[in-house]
Amino acid sequence: MQVKRGLAEMLKGGVIMDVVNPEQAKIAEDAGACAVMALERVPADIRRDGGVSRMSDPEMIEGIKAVTTIPVMAKARIGHFVEAQILQALGVDYVDESEVLTPADEAHHIDKYAFTVPFVCGATNLGEALRRISEGACMIRSKGEAGTGNIVEAVRHLRSILGDIRKITQADSAELFQWAKVLQAPLPLVQEIAETGKLQVPLFCAGGIATPADAALAMQLGAEAVFVGSGIFKSNDPAPRARAIVEATTHFRDADILAKVSRGLGAPMTGIGMDDTTKFAERGW
């Protein structure tokens, strides 16, 4: 378990970037990404194109593995344990059981204990995070709203998860039973939070990060690393923006450095509002 969980510790303070081809993977690594997420379409395009979104072609994942020396992650559909088996066989370093792809199972997530490859799962609130941990997830990320370039949902999810953790640390032992009921989460995990004040796996931020300031906001709120999806390669000038987000994630409390790295990056991705948006975040149970 230390081996499975340990890699998430190594990714802390870093930026994991979505890439759709080897050229983008090189740009991400050159910019200082601590890992890449290999997928066929970034979330903004998945949103635009509609249809069923699935695991990437193994050939494409292998193409990205071949050009990078940093960890490579890939996405499987919620509940699609065969896609996860294939990703493990391909030797990817992390599987993201992701709501960005079309769910394959509307009741069950993957039994992640059945795998040697570690999993990251999205969550919108603490109950969801604890259910994923109870299934064997080694890392939790906020879901946010992928492909929107709008940080508002990620902030909502981080505040919800971390706010409830803060409340639980103040609860007495009788109240913990009620918390477990309300959160629909295993009691031992709730009791552990009351004791430690944190999730037992790292909490990263994903979904809507488009600027260095967005990344630093997530980190100051309490995320331990960030995923950037469409925000880099849907912007005008990906390489400098990628470098700036890496700097901002490291120096997230240093406003002077944040001001410096935020300069002259060109236009960020065009964000979209939440009103007429399909909510990927509602996928997951």
Partner 1 sequence: MSASIVGVLALQGAFVAHERALRSVGASTLQVRISADLDKVQALVMPGGESTTMSKLLVSSGLFDVLADRLHDGLPVFGTCAGMILLATEVLDGREDQRSLGAIDVSVRRNGYGRQVDSFETDIPVTGLSNPFHAVFIRAPKVERLGAGVEVLAECEGVPVLAREGSVTVASFHPELTPDARLHEQFLRHHHII
**Which sequence positions are flagged as catalytic?**
75
How many residues touch partner 1 (CB under 8 A)? 34
Asked whether position 13 contacts partner 1 by CB under 8 A, the answer is yes
8 A C-beta contact, residue 218 and residue 154? yes
Distance, first Cα to last Cα, the chain:
24
Q: Among residues 22, 32, 58, 222, which is the contact residue for partner 1, using CB under 8 A?
A: 32
Could you tell me how far CA 37 lies from the centroid of its own chain? 10
H-type helices in 50-90, by residue range? Answer: 58-67, 81-89
Question: Nearest distance from residue 172's CB to partner 1, in Å?
Answer: 27
Instruction: Report the residue from 17, 42, 117, 190 that binds partner 1 according to the rule CB under 8 A.
Output: 117
Answer yes or no whether residue 7 interacts with partner 1 by CB under 8 A. yes
Q: Which residues contact 252 (CB under 8 A, 6 or more apart)?
A: 215, 216, 219, 220, 258
Q: Token pair 């919800």 is at which residue? A: 160
| Separation between Cα atoms, residue 190 and residue 82, nearest integer Å | 31
Specify the stretch interacting with partner 1 by CB under 8 A; choose among 67-75, 104-112, 122-130, 149-157: 67-75
Per DSSP, the chain holds a count of helices (H) and strands (E) of 13, 8
Residue with Cβ nearer partner 1 (2 or 173): 2
250 binds partner 1 (CB under 8 A): yes
For the CB of residue 93, give the shortest distance to partner 1 in the complex, in Å.
4
Q: Which residues pair with 142 in a beta bridge?
A: 123
- For 198: left if phi > 0, alpha if psi spans -120 to 50, otherwise beta; the answer is beta
Cβ atoms < 10 Å from Cβ of 107: 7
Give the nearer residue to partner 1 in terms of CB position, either 56 or 124: 56
DSSP state of 184: T
Binding span for partner 1 by CB under 8 A among 26-34, 52-60, 140-148, 182-190: 26-34
Least distance between partner 1 and beta carbon 4 (Å): 8
Cα torsion through 137, 139, 142, 144, rounded to 10: -80
Residue in 27, 34, 216, 223 binding partner 1, rule: CB under 8 A: 34
The yes or no reply on residue 2 touching partner 1 (CB under 8 A) is yes
In whole angstroms, the minimum distance from the beta carbon of 50 to partner 1 comes to: 33
Cα atoms in the 13 Å half-sphere on the side-chain side of 119 = 29
Q: Enumerate residues 228-247 that contact partner 1 by CB under 8 A.
A: 246-247
Instruction: Decide if residue 146 touches partner 1 (CB under 8 A).
Output: no
Candidates 86, 84, 91; CA nearest to 66 is: 91
In angstroms, rounded to a whole number, what is the distance separating the alpha carbons of residues 17 and 3? 23
Smallest gap from Cβ 131 to partner 1, in A, equals: 24
Q: Under the criterion CB under 8 A, does residue 192 sit at the interface with partner 1?
A: no
When the beta carbons of 118 and 231 are compared against partner 1, the nearer one is: 118
Query: Which one of residues 19, 20, 25, 33 is an interface residue with partner 1 (CB under 8 A)?
Result: 33
Q: Is 118 in the site for partner 1 (CB under 8 A)?
A: yes
Q: Which residues contact partner 1 (rule: CB under 8 A)?
A: 2-3, 5-7, 9-14, 29, 32-35, 69-71, 88, 91-94, 116-118, 224, 246-247, 249-251, 254
